[in-house]
Amino acid sequence: MISVVVPSYNSGNYLIKAVDSALIQGVDKEIIVIDDCSTDDSIYFFVENYNKDFEPSEEREYLEDYPNTYLYWKGTVGETPVTVLKNSVNQGVATTRNIGVNVAKGNYIAFLDSDDWWEQGKLLRQRRCMEKTGAVLCNTARELMEPDGDSAGNVIHTPKTITLEHLKRTNCINCSSVMVKREVMLKYPMEHEDAHEDYLTWLRILKDYDKVVGLDEPLLKYRLSKGGKSRNKLQAAKMTYKTYRYAGFGIFKSSFMMIAYTYNGLKKYKMKF
């Protein structure tokens, strides 16, 4: 089974579109949504979309291993089990994803941010690719989308084989495109909110595994949110440098890697279909 982990914070109507794209994947799966103490009512309207009679319980069933996270709703949409958890305090996207990984029941984890969505068939094709190659992680290419959901006209491609040396030069693995074995994510949880927590995890994984694989098809629709990290290039650069340092690279090596990262980043976002 594949466990789809969806962190959510003030997601508005985006969350329904994201989860709907997971529901139509046509594989054995569960969906775990974790609301990171949103200040809007997005998680209520999300559940109400699938359960018209929903009323939040005043009694909170907190998770044994996560005293700040409680069960908000658990049900079935079609044949797919859906679990909605809610953090009583904001814990950040890294910890929120880790909670999803730890409560998951599947052999595979597929990450999906609440403002992104997938093409139908993504999970099935990734699972087949991983079974065929024996890889512990598979990502896909992504199409960049404007905040309103229209195409931005760019596809970010991915190599079919990704090694540590490749990943040092540029992060070609987008989190919302990733399917990874759960046992691997338990070994390499996401950390350090002041860096690129997902990039750090991929670097650590590739220090211990020779390679991971990619499907060079835009099966992920990646929304360029106005407040996202990719919009603030200076902040993103600082976070990238911290990522290299947290990954164990020295000052000189990290500085050299930043030059390659910047060059490849400029080239990557200018690529067209």
Q: Of 196, 217, 200, 204, which is closest to residue 138 (Cα–Cα)?
A: 217
Q: What one-letter code names the amino acid at 41? A: D
Q: Which two tokens stand for residue 57?
A: 């319980």
In tens, the pLDDT along 169-203 reads: 889 999 999 999 999 999 999 999 999 999 999 99
pLDDT tier, 231 (very low <50, low <70, confident <90, very high otherwise): low
Q: Of 181, 165, 175, which is closest to residue 197 (Cα–Cα)?
A: 175
In tens, the pLDDT along 6-65 reads: 999 999 889 999 999 999 999 999 999 999 999 999 999 999 999 999 999 889 999 999
Say whether pLDDT at 273 is over 50.
Answer: no
In tens, the pLDDT along 127-184 reads: 999 999 999 999 999 999 999 989 999 999 999 999 999 899 889 999 999 999 999 9
Residue-level pLDDT at 218: 97
DSSP conformation letters of 1-63: -EEEEEEESS-TTHHHHHHHHHHTS-SSEEEEEEE---SSSHHHHHHHHH-TT----SS-EE-
In tens, the pLDDT along 77-112 reads: 999 999 999 999 999 999 999 999 999 999 999 999
Residue-level pLDDT at 151: 94
pLDDT tier, 237 (very low <50, low <70, confident <90, very high otherwise): confident
Residue-level pLDDT at 252: 82
Residue-level pLDDT at 272: 45
Q: Are strands 29-35 and 61-62 parallel, antiparallel or unpaired?
A: unpaired
Q: pTM score, two decimals? A: 0.93
Q: Tell me, which fold does domain 2-268 have in CATH?
A: Spore Coat Polysaccharide Biosynthesis Protein SpsA; Chain A (3.90.550)
Q: What one-character DSSP code corresponds to residue 189?
A: -
CB atoms within 10 A of CB 165: 8
